[in-house]
Amino acid sequence: MIKDYFILTFRSLRKRKIRSWLTMIGIFIGIASIVALIGLGEGLRETINSQFGFLGTDILAITASGGLGPPGSGVVDSLTDKELNELKRVKGIEGAAGRIMESVKIVFNKKISFSYAISLPDGDDRKILEHVMTMEAQKGRLLEDGDKNVVFLGSMFFDKDNTFGKIISPGSKVEILGKEFRVIGIMEKKGNPMLDSVVFMNEDDLRNLVDRPKDEYDIIGVRFSESADINKIKQNIEKRLRKIRDVKEGEENFAVETPASMLEQVNSIILGIQIFVYIIAGISILVGGIGIMNTMYTAVVERTKEIGIMKSIGARNSTVFTLFFIESGLLGTVGGIIGTIIGFLAATGLALIGRLILKSELITAYFPMGLIIGAILFSFILGSFFGTLPAIQASKLNPVDALRHTK
């Protein structure tokens, strides 16, 4: 029965091809823009979240100089062992670990590349860092206490398209700043270009290699209890460091970054943009919906005689209602499906262009299944909703009056 209704509906939509398409354009512009912009927004959010994974979200990072600018450039006052120990005593802090970071020259297969080398501390601090960064080895193993002259590399080195023209795998020997290191493991791909191209080595190795004094750090990571107030801790740290470094408020030669709160800020900006987009697209969809309603009212008037005929040969009110309801639902659904496809293609295309031209990993498209199903379901509901009143009007027509109706 329902199948027959669909066939009947399809016939009458096909008869009014141009009008059906025009009506659907109203829907699919709205749906396409929603799908494309949400897809891009989600992609941006995913990328940013993975970038922040570099520091972990439940730690604070303290850097000398201010900002996350190139550390190890030498001109800033490095953080010291004394400061590290002082920070460990700040209220709310559960642990702190210092790390150094250097830009290094790597030679492999007679080719040269530059990357950041980052130190990993010994003992429990190592475990904590591995945990917050969700570090895992896809090949070989992670670094351990006591490892000497070995490195753990980001996934990019394992890529066959790497800058060395040859895959670096566990067991390979690489030359870093003129010294030979053995590769012990390769990290799982993080999707974050900086993390995927990093060189991890034990702290002693890196200190010896770049000749940094034992009590200097570029970054101090501070872990705090989940219940603690980040901003409060941040203030406490700043107060303590100002005292040690003897600087006034506003003239700090250090910075306290709070990845979690920054992430929240970025996310709230993305959300703000998305809400704005929702509103614009919502208006366009509303207009599209009213377009469906208008088309359906016109269809009812135009097909009054047809309704009369159907009633005279046994169609009940509910049958007539169903026919018109399906028709408007179909207009919405088909519009929604086309809109979703266009939105998907547009966002994917934009992301591709972004990666090719701007070389930015930030522009990616991400489509959760819920978005696609939601968009199509929503357009069906929209079509049906705006078709309800016209369908009721059609079903209530008096058969005699309807039959007398002349076009």
Partner 1 sequence: MRKDIIIKLENVWKTYLMGEDNYVHALRGVNLEVRKGEFLAIMGPSGSGKSTMVNSVGCLDVPTKGKIYLESHDISKLHESDLAQIRGRMIGFIFQQFNLINTLTALENVMLPMIFQGMIPEERDERARELLEHVGLGDRMHHRPSELSGGQQQRVAIARAIANDPEVILADEPTGNLDSKTGNVVIDYLRKLHKEGKTIIMVTHDSNVAKAAERREYLKDGIIVKSL
Q: Which is nearer to partner 1, 319 or 388 (CB)?
A: 319
Q: Return the ∠ at Cα 173 (arms to 168 and 174), rounded to 5°.
A: 75
Interface positions with partner 1 (CB under 8 A): 1, 4, 8, 11-12, 14-15, 305-306, 308-319, 398-400, 403
**Least distance between partner 1 and beta carbon 22 (Å):** 19
Residue type for position 168: I
Show the tokens assigned to 181.
Answer: 């290191």
Q: Which is nearer to partner 1, 290 or 400 (CB)?
A: 400
Q: Which is nearer to partner 1, 313 or 356 (CB)?
A: 313
Residue type for position 298: T
**Least distance between partner 1 and beta carbon 46 (Å):** 48
**Least distance between partner 1 and beta carbon 12 (Å):** 5
Burial of 319 (0-12, 13-18, 19+ CB in 10 A): middle
| DSSP reduced 3-state for 183 | strand
Question: How long is the chain?
Answer: 407
Q: Which is nearer to partner 1, 3 or 89 (CB)?
A: 3
**Least distance between partner 1 and beta carbon 331 (Å):** 16
**Least distance between partner 1 and beta carbon 313 (Å):** 4
Q: Which is nearer to partner 1, 14 or 160 (CB)?
A: 14
Burial of 63 (0-12, 13-18, 19+ CB in 10 A): buried
State the number of CA atoms in the 13 A half-sphere of 132 facing the CB: 24
Q: Which is nearer to partner 1, 235 or 318 (CB)?
A: 318
Q: Which is nearer to partner 1, 74 or 314 (CB)?
A: 314
Residue type for position 9: T
Q: Which is nearer to partner 1, 219 or 330 (CB)?
A: 330
Q: Which is nearer to partner 1, 75 or 313 (CB)?
A: 313
In the block, residue with structure tokens 């994917």: 348
Show the tokens assigned to 130.
Answer: 């591995």
Sign of the torsion angle spanned by Cα atoms 100, 102, 105, 109: positive
Closest CA to 240 of 83, 94, 97, 96: 83
Say how far apart CA 342 and CA 349 lie, in whole Å: 10
Residue type for position 348: T
170 Cα distance to chain centroid: 31
**Least distance between partner 1 and beta carbon 407 (Å):** 10
Closest CA to 116 of 167, 61, 176: 176
Answer whether 35's CB lies under 8 Å from 347's CB.
yes
Q: Which is nearer to partner 1, 190 or 311 (CB)?
A: 311
Residue type for position 190: K
Answer whether 277's CB lies under 8 Å from 38's CB.
yes
**Least distance between partner 1 and beta carbon 318 (Å):** 7
Answer whether 34's CB lies under 8 Å from 281's CB.
yes
Sign of the torsion angle spanned by Cα atoms 282, 288, 291, 296: negative
**Least distance between partner 1 and beta carbon 327 (Å):** 12
Q: Which is nearer to partner 1, 182 or 305 (CB)?
A: 305
**Least distance between partner 1 and beta carbon 334 (Å):** 18
**Least distance between partner 1 and beta carbon 284 (Å):** 31
Say how far apart CA 96 and CA 222 lie, in whole Å: 4
**Least distance between partner 1 and beta carbon 393 (Å):** 14
